[in-house]
Amino acid sequence: MKDVDLLVLGHTAFDYIMQVEEFSKINTSAIVNKMETFNGGAAGNVAVVASKLGLDVGLISCIGKDFKDSDYENYLKDLDIDISDMIVSTTANTPTAFVLTNPEDEQMFYFYWGAAEMYEKSDIPKEAIGKSKAVHLATGDPEFNIKAGKYAYEQNKLVSFDPGQDLHLYTTNNLKEVISNCNILFGNEHEIEHICFLLDKEVDELLEAGPEMIVKTLGKNGSIIYVKDEDPMEIEVVSTEAFDPTGAGDSYRAAFLRMYLRDNNIKTCGRFASTVSSYIVESQGTQTNIPTIDQALDRMDYNWSESTDNINH
């Protein structure tokens, strides 16, 4: 792998995104009003958004026999995302997500693990980690993430961790270990609350357990950023007409890291991340409406009525 700003580890997947009037009950069916197939996976999403915003990106995922020469593979190559170290299964298919969203923007997820079973037998990518400035651990195999995160942290890389919908796969001891070896913990309000419950800690106590920063996204209510020895920082949502919330969190993480790796202050990182995610929700699919950095800065400038001229980008 080449030298990169950001190495992303975790799922690259095919997404089936469905709009439903209601979630079905056991032994019943529900009508799907709209269904589309998109490129996805939390790691894939973060990698694509970060690349489109100007970072040099590497991506390592377990992919299946159906990924070679797919539109998704060609798209990643066109973006110059380094996928040379992908873990490829010759027997299983690529992980696939089935995402159902109701009119209240509540979601249900089903996930086909497929080729991701190969994480268990795979060595962590030490050489690729060594060539990166930062490592983002997205949804994926807990043991693989723990080992990769610990190695990257020991190599003084910036390590961010987002368990996402795979949080239920982590034991209490898993969480203790991965959190103790990361600089930034990302999660939505439900995930951060559940982590606090499992570890029997408040947010300020989590900060003492490892991460220097906790970024909690709140959907339509914006986000809150916690930093050691500082007051929590509230970041307002950028109002827009939301069509599909899928992928908003991944884009927030990518955009936050984009600005953080350019040595911008925390408020700037949060506001830029909120702005980028506002574009994502305007369209169905996690990678279909990614703004350019100039588009994002213009909307950020308009939303907060302050100049973005001094932002490092």
Name the band, by pLDDT with cuts 50, 70 and 90, for residue 149: very high
Question: Per DSSP, what are the bridge partners of residue 110?
Answer: 98
Whole-number Å distance between alpha carbons of 280 and 53: 13
pLDDT at 163 (0 to 100): 94
Among the listed ranges 45-59, 148-162, 196-210, which one has the minimum average pLDDT value? 196-210
Asked if residue 87 lies in contact with residue 63, where contact means CB atoms within 8 angstroms, the answer is yes
Name the band, by pLDDT with cuts 50, 70 and 90, for residue 275: very high
Mean pLDDT computed over 120-125: 94
Name the band, by pLDDT with cuts 50, 70 and 90, for residue 283: confident
pLDDT at 104 (0 to 100): 87
Burial 22-43 (b: 16+ CB within 10 A, else e): eeeeeeeeeeeeeeeebbbbbb
Whole-number Å distance between alpha carbons of 81 and 91: 25
pLDDT at 99 (0 to 100): 87
Residues 1-37 have pLDDT tens digits of 899 999 999 999 998 989 999 999 999 999 999 998 9
Asked if residue 100 lies in contact with residue 108, where contact means CB atoms within 8 angstroms, the answer is yes
Mean pLDDT computed over 93-103: 92
CATH class of the 4-20+32-304 domain in this structure: alpha beta
Q: Which of 6-10, 107-111, 205-209, 277-281 has the highest mean pLDDT?
A: 6-10
| Token couple for 150 | 């610990």
Break the chain into its structural domains and give their ranges.
Answer: 4-20+32-304
Name the band, by pLDDT with cuts 50, 70 and 90, for residue 115: very high
Side-chain-facing half-sphere of 84: CA atoms under 13 Å? 9
What secondary structure does DSSP assign to 288-308, as a single string?
A: SSPPPHHHHHHHHHHHHTS--
Residue 48 pLDDT exceeds 90: yes
Q: Hey, which residues are catalytic here? A: 250
pLDDT at 31 (0 to 100): 93
Asked if residue 63 lies in contact with residue 118, where contact means CB atoms within 8 angstroms, the answer is no
pLDDT at 12 (0 to 100): 96
pLDDT at 244 (0 to 100): 67
- What average pLDDT does the structure give for the chain? 92
Residue 307 pLDDT exceeds 70: no
Mean pLDDT computed over 35-51: 93
The overall pTM is greater than 0.85: yes
Do strands 213-217 and 158-161 pair parallel, antiparallel, or not at all (unpaired)? unpaired
